[in-house]
Structure 1
């Protein structure tokens, strides 16, 4: 039975990963969450599908993650096939450009470092805790849900000077995956950073406070892809990503790809 861990599974893309994977009774799905307070729909799904296990953990705490890994290993026989790290933090002051922090330096440090913790540092904590299980798995895949806003060329073309902390942290997370790909090659482990596309989630909607903001975003993204019309559904995004993950092997380990398996980000 293939085993999957989805980190950040209560809603949006993470929830849809759990939903689609658990629809196949052959998959064993571990949904790692920060708090039960927001896990109502996930727990409801777990009641109807016995191959889902919801586990509350703390990705900022290596000791807690070790306990979580032991809990998973006790169920799977010490193995894990695929880890999907979907947890993220967007951060505040997203509209400020680098120079706009002049005179607002007290805001810069949390804006820069808080996303970096969740989107990069805690990635290492999570992978390291689960790595002994992954080494014993069959698929041996580590997947990081990144963002096109962390890509240098995308940022250059669409001319996006804001959301510094989020973009920098996603670029850092992507680099970490490439580092793991190099380190773990001899263990047969492959890694991938993947952008889910522009997905219709609560977080995406929160960033678009008006119809004018949506129109402005479409116009910005069309600098890169003239065919952009709007957001795609979590269902479409995850279906596409799972197809890319299925084809992941040593030849593309460590790469950063779109949900389409190429550099067509939207």
Structure 2
């Protein structure tokens, strides 16, 4: 695997740290990656489709989170590089028509991208996180995956998406247990119903508002809150 690196400086420079963001080509992933770049972080922006003319200071890597070989190749490419924060943001919505239109292949693809990929990425980059200072895995989840809150005032028929985010939340809890001895914190974050291609124009949260709120939570996360589930505004979300 090769990377396309834009605007690399002629010499080394100090950075606030290194953060890797999946699904960074657009939407929330792009907003988060841009915020960290502006704050002086070294940003590893992972995306399935590379822009024809990369701009900015981010280091861009081709990554298809739905492909196990692509995730493993990214791990080999980044071998020995310290990473402070991994943000598993890439996700797909899938069918929203309810039980009647549920398709087995669509359902399994949504699970693969939204729930399995973050686990495989965490495994592939575990050594990188151990070499970093912050040691944090962030899973961008959704209140839609909450058994307690996921269907409150929300009756969309997106079975696959809801089930995948519920599975991702359990993955967060399991990873938090497994990584605790390494000093690696793992959290789930709900970005709110944001106005993106996935969220649609009727969504109530501006993408910049969500990204700033999420970054504030990420930047203050410690081992004391590993295994937790919070919203972009800091409120705890019930499992």
Tell me whether 1:28 sits opposite 2:42 in the alignment: yes
Equivalent residue pairs, number: 223
TM-score (norm 1): 0.78
Partner residue, 2:10: none
Q: Aligned runs of 1:52-131 on 2, under 5 Å?
A: 52-73=58-79, 78-92=81-95, 94-96=96-98, 98=99, 101=100, 107-131=102-126
TM-score (norm 2): 0.86
Partner residue, 1:167: 162
Bigger radius of gyration among the two: 1
Say if 2:144 and 2:151, in contact at 8 Å, map to a contact too. no
Tell me, which stretches of 5 or more residues in structure 1 are unaligned? 209-213, 215-229
1:102-146 deviations in Å (ceiling 9; x for gaps): xx6xx4312422211100111122111111101111100000111
> Post-superposition, which runs of at least 4 consecutive aligned residues in structure 1 deviate over 6 A?
none
Aligned-pair RMSD on alpha carbons? 2.0
TM-superposed CA distance for 1:183, in Å, is: 0.6
Say if 1:66 and 1:130, in contact at 8 Å, map to a contact too. no
CA distance in 2, matches of 1:247, 1:133: 20
Tell me, which stretches of 5 or more residues in structure 2 are unaligned? 1-14
Q: Aligned runs of 1:219-234 on 2, under 5 Å?
A: 231-234=204-207
Report the CA distance shift for 1:161/1:9 in structure 2 as closer, same or farther (over 3 A).
Answer: closer
CA distance in 1, matches of 2:105, 2:76: 33
Higher-helix-fraction structure: 1
Report the CA distance shift for 1:161/1:233 in structure 2 as closer, same or farther (over 3 A).
Answer: closer
CA distance in 1, matches of 2:118, 2:233: 23
CA distance in 1, matches of 2:151, 2:211: 27
